[in-house]
A and B are shown apart, each in its own frame.
Chain A
């Protein structure tokens, strides 16, 4: 059942919010100890909310767009009264004192927040193995990583522990685990969703977005969390379309739609994965799309550029964890990857090196942005694999560059601030494979329309 249909059932009193919540709580109880997607749940508070929604529906009162839907929130997004640890020992005792804008909006639209989900420490990873609270299992491929850093949110949706989940994406952290877990993940245009309350990884690239098992869920959650936040300076002041109504009348063909295919993205991707994407593209051609092969010469530049900026901004963002307010000084208790980023950030932001590294990275970024926008000017959506390789076994030793390589195809969207999504495209060796779609800034709807078409027709 689609999320939108379920939401109608709840509003029509065919399914109570309470029963919906109860069944998820049962699943969480059964599988979370194994999967470790949720770090903390608050059933009592969620139940109170669900019962309130049910009684309002019974009384014929108005309820919000998310009425009764059960939602998990990545644990780097502030939710009042939950421990907000970002899966780091640094914040093991920090209780959220306020709701992030996205959480406020979810609560206002009667979403039922059941709990907070696991992630790589401070979202600095692609496997969810670096969590202080242990790794998360991939429900779609047991024994393998779920991807990351929003691995908890992706696994929670994939294992049926909630209707929808929030993730954050700085270099692929929504799309990557969505791909590995066989669900959908959407990183909106930079500024389309408020970051107020999102714990920083790299502020100029971080973006909150939804994970769901179908497009209607993605659209519904985007409709709620998106839009100008007068209290977050980087949010866009624009007339964002409402996605749910926009998807009401599905397209029956794709005539005239131009899809760009990045040649270099296939060059760096494992053969079986390429094959699946090519198969999907061939099917789409049958529905009238025009495929345009494009060259993106700067693909090699993207990963180092993204990481240099990430290091410097993360270094800056973590200065508040000085041990005075939150108990631990971050450098003394954090994991290896977080420490590497802090040290690298501290090193390359030194006065004497900033011209050499940070300023260069910013220059490279504007070059990449310009080039990707040039490529996008001739097409509606760019298609590539989401992740160029299959996920590894939990606990396998990877060197840093092997780990970073998971992000090769996803970092571009963060550098350029453009919207990007991942949708299931097939299976290789029992592991789900995602297809990535990217569009021009503010063309989020074009991606959603294509996702919706694929969901209905492929």
Chain B
């Protein structure tokens, strides 16, 4: 199969694309964030396009490796008749960026649009709060060959958008998915609102089209709708003339030019895109790609890693940050940024570990205390009595004591119950307050029990 995507995501601006109305449409009461411009009352003309939105679009296009058009760009009117469209046309720009690439999937174009309102037939209302919010549309070439690839692409795309700081992420995503199989025509699936949805829609469509082809039935070129609740696609009824949008350049909006200097300014100030950062981490720090991918999942985590890697062995830091930092942050249901863990805290903790001032176990326990905690790891270690790796003799003494105090567990061990050993290790750890090395303790206990045998 081959698959191409058209992805719409809202840009994260304070005001709408052509007026001053706020963009918090989900929080506002129905039809509260509207004015004569975004409601398009008779006589209303668009204000000059929101610069924040235009720069956001340029930035995202650049992050996707696009060229920025050196020609004039302008908004077109795309006419169609629907209750959510207050003017009967949607303003959509000609491509701002083109010929980009994201991990081998070619980006055909990036352009700006205005969001329509929201028609809620079940409530019998149209809410125009969303009308006029800037959207970016990203169109790929048909370069994906499986639902998995499409899913992988979308995940990476959402990461790039999150990195840009200019877009609103998967929650506002709306995608059109184009899919065709060898021997069949192309189907366009609309109403896809999540990465999972895109994956499921493609899976379903692949099976459907395969079955048709197998049975010798022609796969028509058609537009289908994805029903999220059932994870299936169904044919969409479209009026024949709805196909012709009668595009005209919007006479109310003069053409604009993205000045080369300005584009360069945006380029210099844009964050390094996640997929390029991942590649660089692999090369620069000699760490495995899966480590790099986890570290770049959040821009703040990636930045923290780079700071830490200046002070500590990058491979060691990568391993700990991939496993332990992610574990603790995830457990607390936080993003790394929200955890408020600082690179300085991590550097100190990793140095304590590398200098054998604490055990791995102690390191993990300190890590668990770090989220939303401004104390340094050395202080935490001291307070919890975790400082220092215990001497072997001390562990041996503890082993002997534990074996003496737990005859039942010892008996169970001899009966071949492996769990008993874990229990005994746990007791030693408890006695040494976690400072003993678990695998070493395990060995010591076994040695002791074998001797007795």
Question: Residues of A with Cβ closer than 8 Å to B?
Answer: 76-78, 84, 86, 91, 94, 97-98, 100, 195-200, 202-204, 230-234, 312-313, 315-316, 318-320, 322, 324-326, 346, 349-351, 354, 358
Q: Tell me whether A100 and B248 are in contact (CB under 8 A).
A: no
| Minimum CB distance partner of A205 in chain B | B251
Asked if B40 is at the interface (CB within 8 A of a chain A CB), the reply is yes
Q: Digit string of B139-172 for contact with A (CB within 8 Å is 1, else 0)?
A: 0000000000000000000000000000000000
CA distance A326 to B46 in the complex (A): 20
Q: Digit string of B83-94 for contact with A (CB within 8 Å is 1, else 0)?
A: 100111100000
Question: Which residues from B are CB-within-8-Å of A316?
Answer: 77, 79, 88-89, 246, 248
Question: Which residues from A are CB-within-8-Å of B251?
Answer: 202-204, 234, 313
Pick from B42, B48, B77, B126 the residue with the most CB of A within 10 Å.
B42
Q: Tell me whether B77 and A91 are in contact (CB under 8 A).
A: no
Q: Tell me whether B43 and A319 are in contact (CB under 8 A).
A: no
Question: Which residues from B are CB-within-8-Å of A326?
Answer: 42
- Report the interface size class on chain B: 20 to 34
| Minimum CB distance partner of A325 in chain B | B86
**A195, A200, A312: the one within 8 Å of B248 (CB):** A312
Question: Which residues from A are CB-within-8-Å of B419?
Answer: none
Question: Which residues from A are CB-within-8-Å of B48?
Answer: 230-231, 233
Q: Tell me whether A319 and B36 are in contact (CB under 8 A).
A: no
Question: Residues of B with Cβ closer than 8 Å to A?
Answer: 36, 40-48, 77, 79, 81, 83, 86-89, 126, 244, 246-248, 251-254
CA distance A401 to B247 in the complex (A): 28
The secondary-structure label for the interface of chain B is: loop
Question: Which residues from A are CB-within-8-Å of B36?
Answer: 97-98
A358-B42 contact given A97-B36, A319-B88, CB 8 Å threshold: no
Q: Tell me whether A233 and B248 are in contact (CB under 8 A).
A: no
Question: Which residues from A are CB-within-8-Å of B77?
Answer: 316
CA distance A226 to B60 in the complex (A): 39
A-B CB contacts (within 8 Å), total count = 87
Pick from A232, A233, A315, A354 the residue with the most CB of B within 10 Å.
A233
**B41, B83, B88, B254: the one within 8 Å of A233 (CB):** B254
| Minimum CB distance partner of A98 in chain B | B36
**A233, A349, A354: the one within 8 Å of B45 (CB):** A233
Question: Which residues from A are CB-within-8-Å of B252?
Answer: 195, 203, 233-234
Q: Tell me whether B254 and A234 are in contact (CB under 8 A).
A: yes
A358-B43 contact given A316-B89, A320-B88, CB 8 Å threshold: no
Pick from B36, B44, B81, B247 the residue with the most CB of A within 10 Å.
B44
A319-B79 contact given A97-B36, A204-B251, A234-B254, CB 8 Å threshold: yes
> What 19 additional pairs, Cβ within 8 angstroms, besides A349-B248, A358-B248?
A98-B41, A100-B43, A199-B43, A200-B43, A231-B47, A231-B48, A232-B45, A232-B47, A233-B252, A233-B253, A234-B251, A234-B254, A316-B89, A316-B246, A318-B88, A320-B87, A324-B83, A350-B246, A354-B246
Q: Tell me whether B41 and A97 are in contact (CB under 8 A).
A: yes
A88 to chain B, nearest CB (A): 10
Q: Tell me whether B42 and A199 are in contact (CB under 8 A).
A: yes
CA distance A195 to B248 in the complex (A): 19
B343 to chain A, nearest CB (A): 45
Pick from B41, B48, B88, B246 the residue with the most CB of A within 10 Å.
B246
Question: Which residues from B are CB-within-8-Å of A77?
Answer: 43
B118 to chain A, nearest CB (A): 14
Question: Which residues from B are CB-within-8-Å of A351?
Answer: 244, 246-247
Q: Tell me whether B248 and A313 are in contact (CB under 8 A).
A: yes
Question: Which residues from A are CB-within-8-Å of B89?
Answer: 316, 319
CA distance A221 to B48 in the complex (A): 26
Q: Tell me whether B87 and A319 are in contact (CB under 8 A).
A: yes
A-B contact pairs, 24 of them (CB 8 A): A76-B43, A78-B41, A78-B43, A84-B43, A94-B42, A199-B42, A199-B43, A203-B252, A230-B47, A231-B47, A312-B248, A313-B248, A316-B77, A316-B79, A316-B248, A319-B81, A319-B87, A319-B89, A322-B81, A326-B42, A349-B246, A350-B244, A351-B247, A354-B246
Q: Tell me whether B248 and A320 are in contact (CB under 8 A).
A: no
| Minimum CB distance partner of A232 in chain B | B45
Q: Tell me whether B81 and A198 are in contact (CB under 8 A).
A: no
B88 to chain A, nearest CB (A): 2
Q: What 8 A-B pairs have minimum CB-CB distances, sorted nearest first?
A: A319-B88, A203-B251, A204-B251, A349-B246, A78-B43, A197-B43, A199-B43, A231-B47
CA distance A203 to B126 in the complex (A): 27
Question: Which residues from B are CB-within-8-Å of A349?
Answer: 246, 248
Question: Which residues from A are CB-within-8-Å of B40?
Answer: 320
| Minimum CB distance partner of A319 in chain B | B88
CA distance A318 to B79 in the complex (A): 11
Question: Which residues from B are CB-within-8-Å of A312?
Answer: 248
CA distance A118 to B86 in the complex (A): 27
B247 to chain A, nearest CB (A): 8
B147 to chain A, nearest CB (A): 33
B126 to chain A, nearest CB (A): 8
CA distance A313 to B77 in the complex (A): 10
| Minimum CB distance partner of B252 in chain A | A203
Q: Tell me whether B246 and A84 are in contact (CB under 8 A).
A: no
Q: Tell me whether B43 and A322 are in contact (CB under 8 A).
A: no
Question: Which residues from B are CB-within-8-Å of A232?
Answer: 45, 47
